[in-house]
Amino acid sequence: MIYNSSIMLRLTQTENGKVKGIPAADPRITAFKGIPFAAPPVGNLRWKAPQPASNWTGTRNCFEFAPIAMQSQPGLNPADIYDREWHVDSEVPLNEDCLYLNIWTPAACNDIESAQKLKLPVYVWYFGGGLQVGYPSEMEFDGERLARRGIVVVTINYRLNAFGFLCHPEITKENPAAPTNFGHLDQQFATQWVKRNIANFGGDGDNITIGGQSAGGGSVIAQLASPQNKDVKTSSGLFQQAIIQSGIFAPAYPNTFGPERGLHLAEVEKRGEEFFAFCKVKSLAEARKIPAKRLMKKVEDFAQSKGQWMMWGTVIDGKFLLDNPYTVLCDGKGLHVPIMLGNTIDEFFAEPASKTIDELKETAATMFGNKADAFISLLEEAGGTSFANALHALKNAARVNGIEYAARLLAKKYADNKVASPLYYYQFGPEIPGWDKPGCFHSVDLWFFFETLAKSWRPWKGSHYELARDMCNYWAEFVKKGNPNGLGMPQWKAFTNDVPETMFFGDVADCGVREPGAVMKYLIDNKK
């Protein structure tokens, strides 16, 4: 793309009013921060689907990020790797009024009519944080470097924890068409806003990629699975491509950790009733009057009373979601669009939860029926021991990367259900420097494809910066056309069940067939 730095799009129009942006660090990119895409979800709009933003007069200066969604205050625990890594500002403002988005555009023009002709591809980013915490103004999410590749980057905010995913019978009765999943509805509403408005920022509303990492990636799966995002008449959807980073999970073994994405409305409504009782309120009207900060403290205390993994999240509500999102994808009933997906090599390993040899045998019998003996023999061979000996060695032999397992199983299900949309699978595994010796921990790849390593405290080497440049290039190409390959780049081939081509981001980018380990293959081929 050829830039003329003397005419960059700094002033444009949204459906609600004029907005003014500022030059990014690279003045050839304009950043618009804190654009409202919906009405503040406060008062009687708490626990309701997002509503249209109000119009304004004059020009709105979009120079600063808006406050983040209500959550536990970040940046308070230096022992936590994420507070060290990027949640470094313990004074970042929180507010229930949080439905704003940010745009980075390389549009080289000074009028709206010219901007509309550019039709640049658009990337809409959903941050992660377990649907409990996180925010688009985290420093690693700077969209400037991606925008320099000729795409418009949008980062959006959405409601979290109980503010975004509470269920209660009164809420369902009040609005049965949108009884919960308010955070996902915020994501959807923001993406719809982008589709309607992004042309005035140089973008193409008919070429949108949604992407996210961790719970953001899980949110992408929810959007892929939602029937609300599909135009039945045209078989097209709200977006044209999707990127799922460390956000796709399948239960490799019973009773092992995974996000609660299979909960149904009725059971979470009961949790909501318990929460209202915990807050000492008797009605939805009373609950809406609790000040946001006090309500957030109740959310924290209630979670602690229930146990470490009690979280509010995605619900099968019969409206936004009809089934577990991953199941919908595997059954071929989600939106059929090109998907890029992958994981870091040191995150989310699954192994049987069995505490004794007998429990491990029972697990094998439950999972594989009359094929259980073959699984037992496989573990004995891989673990170098027998069922008469070390349980630890056998469980270790059974370990699989839970995200890789889900990706490979999805490829098999796509083949079984004749879904032709391509999958592009990656693994991220360079050496990560630092005194904490963290390995390729969950989320560390965020520094790379946003190409924001310079903001990090870690002592990166030249090879890391080269890898980040290459990853940013692949992501930008995928956003442009649903295929990550570009001129002069090592070819990244599609991932299929028959030919599992995998892009490995190590010291360099290298694509090749990576067969699953014996245990993972057995799980995929034989699990009930």
Q: pLDDT, tens digit, for every residue of 178-211?
A: 999 999 999 999 999 999 999 999 999 999 999 9
Examine the domain organization and report whether 148 and 220 are in the same domain. Answer: yes
Question: According to the 3-state scheme, what is the secondary structure of 267-329?
Answer: HHHHHHHHHHHHCCCCCHHHHHCCCHHHHHHHHHHHHHHHCCCCCCCCEECCCCCCCCHHHHH
CA distance 142 to 452: 7
For 221, the 3-state DSSP assignment is helix
Task: Find where tokens 């595997």 sit.
Answer: 330
Examine the domain organization and report whether 332 and 356 are in the same domain. Answer: no
- Asked whether residue 520 is assigned to any structural domain, the reply reads no
pLDDT by residue (tens digit) across 198-255?
A: 999 999 999 999 999 999 999 999 999 999 998 755 556 999 999 999 999 998 998 7
Here the tokens at position 214 are 């961790």
Query: CA of 479: how far to CAs of 124, 152, 192, 208, 233, in Å?
Result: 10, 10, 17, 7, 25
- Asked whether residue 419 is assigned to any structural domain, the reply reads no
Helix axes 372-383, 518-526, angle to 10 degrees: 170
Q: Are 105 and 120 in contact (CB under 8 A)?
A: yes
- Helices and strands in the chain, H and E counts: 18, 20
- Asked whether residue 452 is assigned to any structural domain, the reply reads no
Q: Residue 3: its pLDDT value, please? A: 45
Q: Are 70 and 160 in contact (CB under 8 A)?
A: yes
Q: Is the pLDDT of residue 91 over 80?
A: yes
> Which run of H or of E encompasses 416?
helix 402-416
Q: Residue 380: its pLDDT value, please? A: 86
Structural domains counted in the chain: 2
- Asked whether residue 57 is assigned to any structural domain, the reply reads yes
Q: Are 135 and 161 in contact (CB under 8 A)?
A: no
Examine the domain organization and report whether 267 and 154 are in the same domain. Answer: yes
Domain end point (choices 398, 417, 432)? 398
Examine the domain organization and report whether 373 and 286 are in the same domain. Answer: no
DSSP per position, 128-195: -STTTS--TTSGGG--HHHHTTT-EEEEE----HHHHH---HHHHHH-TTS-S-HHHHHHHHHHHHHH
| Biggest distance spanned by C-alpha atoms of the chain | 77
> How would residue 351 be classed by pLDDT, with cut points 50, 70 and 90?
very high
Q: Are 142 and 113 in contact (CB under 8 A)?
A: no
Examine the domain organization and report whether 238 and 358 are in the same domain. Answer: no
Domain end point (choices 344, 361, 383)? 344
The stretch 471-499 carries a mean pLDDT of 96
Examine the domain organization and report whether 271 and 337 are in the same domain. Answer: yes
The stretch 426-442 carries a mean pLDDT of 96
Least confident stretch, 189-198, 317-326, 387-396: 387-396
Percent of the chain with pLDDT over 90: 87
DSSP secondary structure code for residue 38 in this structure? S
Which one-letter amino acid corresponds to residue 103?
I
Domain end point (choices 282, 316, 344)? 344
Examine the domain organization and report whether 365 and 297 are in the same domain. Answer: no
- Asked whether residue 62 is assigned to any structural domain, the reply reads yes
Examine the domain organization and report whether 376 and 233 are in the same domain. Answer: no
Examine the domain organization and report whether 324 and 394 are in the same domain. Answer: no
- Asked whether residue 320 is assigned to any structural domain, the reply reads yes
- Asked whether residue 364 is assigned to any structural domain, the reply reads yes
Q: Residue 2: its pLDDT value, please? A: 43
Question: According to the 3-state scheme, what is the secondary structure of 42-104?
Answer: CHHHCCCCCCCCCCCCCEEECECCCCECCCCCCCCCCCCHHHHHCCCCCCCCECCCCCEEEEE
The stretch 489-495 carries a mean pLDDT of 96
* Cβ-count burial 409-448 (b if 16+ within 10 Å, e if not): bbbbbbeeeebebbbbbbbbbbebeeeeebebebbbbbbb
**Mean pLDDT of the chain, nearest integer:** 93
Examine the domain organization and report whether 289 and 371 are in the same domain. Answer: no
Q: Is the pLDDT of residue 307 over 80?
A: no
Q: Residue 357: its pLDDT value, please? A: 86
Which one-letter amino acid corresponds to residue 198?
I
Q: Measured in whole angstroms, how far is the alpha carbon of residue 105 from the centre of its chain?
A: 22
Q: Residue 78: its pLDDT value, please? A: 83
Q: Residue 1: its pLDDT value, please? A: 44
Q: Is the pLDDT of residue 131 over 70?
A: yes
Active site includes 226?
A: no
Closest CA to 290 of 42, 40, 39: 42
CA distance 375 to 371: 7
Q: How many residues does the chain have?
A: 528
- Asked whether residue 417 is assigned to any structural domain, the reply reads no
CA distance 378 to 397: 9
CA distance 221 to 226: 9
Q: Residue 5: its pLDDT value, please? A: 47
Examine the domain organization and report whether 368 and 243 are in the same domain. Answer: no
CATH number for position 262: 3.40.50.1820
Q: Is the pLDDT of residue 358 over 70?
A: yes
pLDDT by residue (tens digit) across 97-129?
A: 999 999 999 999 989 999 999 999 999 999 999
The residue range of the domain holding 371 is: 352-398
Q: Residue 310: its pLDDT value, please? A: 77
Examine the domain organization and report whether 132 and 176 are in the same domain. Answer: yes
Residue in 90, 114, 137, 214 annotated catalytic: 214
What global pTM score does this model have? 0.96
